[in-house]
Amino acid sequence: MNDWPEAWSDDNRGRRYGRGSASAQPESPRVMRQVRRGQPAPPGQGAYGGVPQQPQYVDGHGSGGHDGYDSGYNTGQVYGGAGGRGGGDGHGPQRPAPDWRRRVKWTAITLVTVLFVTTVATYFWADSKLKREVDLSKVIERPEKGEGTNYLIVGSDSREGLSDEDKKRLRTGSAEGKRTDSVMILHTGDNGPTLISLPRDSNVEIPTFKGSESGKVYQGTGRQVKLNAAYAEDGPELLVRTVEFNTGLHIDHYVEIGFGGFANIVDAVGGVEMDIPQDIKDTKSGADFKKGKQTLNGEEALAFVRTRYALPGSDLDRTKNQQKFLSALAGQVATPSTVLNPFRLYPTMGAGLDSLIVDTEMGLFDLADMFWSMKGVSGGEGTSMNMPLAGSSGGNLLWNKDKVKQLVNQLNNDEKVTVTGD
C-alpha cells in the first residue's frame, strides 16, 4: 500500500516539498512553528520553481526578524558556552582584573602607618614610665666633660615594693633605707664600650658638696670612707660628686636599680643563661649553683650577683660576676626573640622602666645606648675590668692612683683602654 497521499508514488518523492505534501507550496506554519514564512517568490524563481526562498537565521527572528512570529528558539544564546555572557571568548562583559599594584601600595601604606603609630605610642608610653629623680645640676665643682659618654650604674639594696614574702624568698633582709650593692662606670665611644667596677669597699675621700635636699654646702674635711658610705650619707648626688672628685671623670648619666626590679627584669625576659665557673653555695645570699651552663631566673640571678662570701676573691670576684651577668642580661634583652615579640618586649620594658631611677636628663635613646653597649661588652666588642688597686688599709681597698689616672685619661680622650684592673 502506498503511504503517500493523493496517489503519489515513490517516484514522485524527488520533487516533493515538505513532508509528503501533494502541493508545491510549503506546509502550513503550524507544522514548522519556528519558521516565519516570507513573501512568495515571483513566478519562475526559487530553487524549485515557485517554492519561496527560506528565511535567513540571523538573530533568531528570520531575515531581519523584527516583525512577525518569534518562537523564542534559535536566539543565538548558548548558556554556559563560548557565545553566552561571561564566556571565555572575551565577547561578553568581562570582570575587571584586580589592580595588584594598587592593592600592594595601600597595604604598604597601611602597614607603615600602623607601625609608625605603634612606635610613637610605645615611645611616649615608655618615656612616661622613666623615674627621673636624680638632679645632677646639684652636683658642684664638676670635672670637664671628655669625649664619649659615661654612665654611673648603681645596684642598690633597696627593698622598696617588696612584700615580706618577697623579702624572705629573695633573702634580702628587712634593713631600712638603701645602700649601694654595686657601682660601675660604663664608658661608650668610638673605641668600644668599657665597663669598670668600683668595689663598694673602695677607699675614697668625701669632698665639699651641696646637700641634695637642704641645698646647704658642706665643706670637705679630707674624710676617708668606703664608697658606699657616700650614697648612704646623701644619696645619688653625693655619690656622683664623690666618684667625679676621686677619679676626675665627668659622669653624664645616672642609672639605679633595686633588688626587686632586678629580679623582675630577669623573669620578664625568660631568664638569663650563665656559664658558672665553679660550684657556689652561700647561705646568706641563697646561692646554690653547680658548675656549668644554666638559665637563672630572677631569684637565682639576684643570689648570684650578691654572693661574695663563697668566692675566693670576695668582693672583687663578686664585681666580676656582676659584670658578666649584667652584660648577659643586656644581651638577652637585645635579642630578636625579645625585641620582635611584643608579648615579651612590653613586659620586659615595663619591668625595667618601673624599676629604674635615672637622672633628669636621661632619655630613652640614652638608655638604649647603655644597654647596647653593655651587650657589646659581653660580645667581646669592649672591655670589662675592676678599678686598678694598690692594696688595702683598715678593710678599705686602695686604688692604684697612677693606673687610675692613665685609665681616666684614655676614657676622656675616648682612646682604646690599655690599662688592666684587678
Strongest mean pLDDT among 13-17, 87-91, 100-104, 338-342: 100-104
Listed residue (370, 336, 328, 334) closest to 349, CA to CA: 334
Q: What ranges make up the beta strands (E) of 214-308?
A: 217-218, 224-226, 253-257, 272-276, 280-282, 287-289, 292-296
What pLDDT does 264 receive?
Answer: 85
Cell of 179: 645602700
- The interaxial angle of helices 259-268 and 298-306, nearest 10 deg, is 130
Grade residue 91 by pLDDT with cuts at 50, 70 and 90: low
Residue 31 has pLDDT above 50, yes or no: no
The average pLDDT across 219-223 equals 94
Q: In this prediction, what percent of the chain has a pLDDT beyond 90?
A: 31
The average pLDDT across 70-80 equals 50
The average pLDDT across 226-235 equals 91
What pLDDT does 307 receive?
Answer: 87
**Residue 312 CB coordination number (10 Å):** 7
DSSP annotation of 202 reads B
How many residues belong to the chain?
A: 422
What pLDDT does 60 receive?
Answer: 45
Exposed, middle or buried by CB within 10 Å (0-12, 13-18, 19+), for 355? buried
The average pLDDT across 162-171 equals 59
Q: 3-state SS string over 340-374? A: CCHHHHHHHHHHHHHHEEEECCCCHHHHHHHHHHH
CA distance 33 to 162: 101
Q: Residue ranges of the alpha helices (H) in 6-99? A: none
The average pLDDT across 113-129 equals 82
Q: Residues near 299 by Cβ (< 8 Å), separated by ≥ 6? A: 169, 170, 263, 286
Are the C-beta atoms of residues 192 and 382 closer than 8 Å to each other? Answer: yes
Residue 341 has pLDDT above 60, yes or no: yes
Strongest mean pLDDT among 44-53, 58-67, 90-99, 172-181: 90-99
Tell me the three state secondary structure of residue 83. coil
CA distance 363 to 288: 38
The average pLDDT across 365-371 equals 89
How many Cα atoms occupy the beta-carbon half-sphere of 99 within 13 Å?
Answer: 5
Residue 39 has pLDDT above 50, yes or no: yes
Q: What residue has cell string 514548522?
A: 32
Grade residue 86 by pLDDT with cuts at 50, 70 and 90: very low
Where is average pLDDT lowest: 253-262, 282-291, 333-342, 395-404?
333-342
Q: What is the pLDDT of residues 167-219, one digit of tens each?
A: 556 655 555 556 677 899 999 999 889 999 999 889 999 999 999 989 999 99
Tell me the three state secondary structure of residue 139. coil
What pLDDT does 353 receive?
Answer: 79
